[in-house]
Amino acid sequence: MKDQVFNITKVSSRYKGNKMTEEHVSQLFVKWSKKIGIQISAHRFRHTVATRIANSGCNLKSLQQLLGHTDIKTTFGYIETNIDDLRKIQSML
């Protein structure tokens, strides 16, 4: 589908259909978790990716659109605090 930035069904015949579903994503993370021996989730991955993108200097409105959030406050909730930034701010006080 054109509206999906990432679509596992295009790279693996294991996942059926043209549009990637939540079930496809869940199956993928279960598979990865078993492979690496650490439980990971799609939701935690979303938070990590959002934080890394935000910290790279990306336009936050673009990040909001990528994540599909209608309210920018939701996007801010996905971005983890960077401890090094907090230290820099504290040193300026």
pLDDT tens for 61-78 read: 999 999 999 999 999 999
Are residues 27 and 15 in contact, defined by beta-carbon separation less than 8 angstroms? yes
Q: Are residues 58 and 80 in the same domain?
A: yes
Which one is predicted more confidently, 12 or 56? 56
pLDDT at 5 over 50: yes
Same domain, yes or no: 50 and 91: yes
- Quick one: 50 and 82 in the same domain? yes
- Alpha-carbon gap, residue 85 to 87, rounded angstroms: 5
Q: Please enumerate in sequence order all residues whose Cβ is within 8 A of that of 9, keeping only pairs 6 or more positions apart, or say none.
A: 15, 16, 17, 18, 19, 20, 24
Q: Containing domain of residue 71, as a range?
A: 44-93
16 and 4 in a common domain: yes
pLDDT per residue over 20-56, tens digit each?
778 878 888 888 899 999 998 888 888 999 999 998 9
Q: Are residues 35 and 64 in the same domain?
A: no
The verdict on 24 and 56 lying in the same domain is: no
Q: Are residues 6 and 35 in the same domain?
A: yes
Whether 8 has a pLDDT exceeding 90, the answer reads no
8 A C-beta contact, residue 67 and residue 50 = yes
pTM of full prediction above 0.85: no
Kind and range of the H or E run holding 47: helix 42-55
| Number of domain units in the chain | 2
Quickly count: other Cβ atoms within 10 Å of residue 71's Cβ.
9
Q: Are residues 57 and 36 in the same domain?
A: no
Residues 27 and 52 in one domain: no
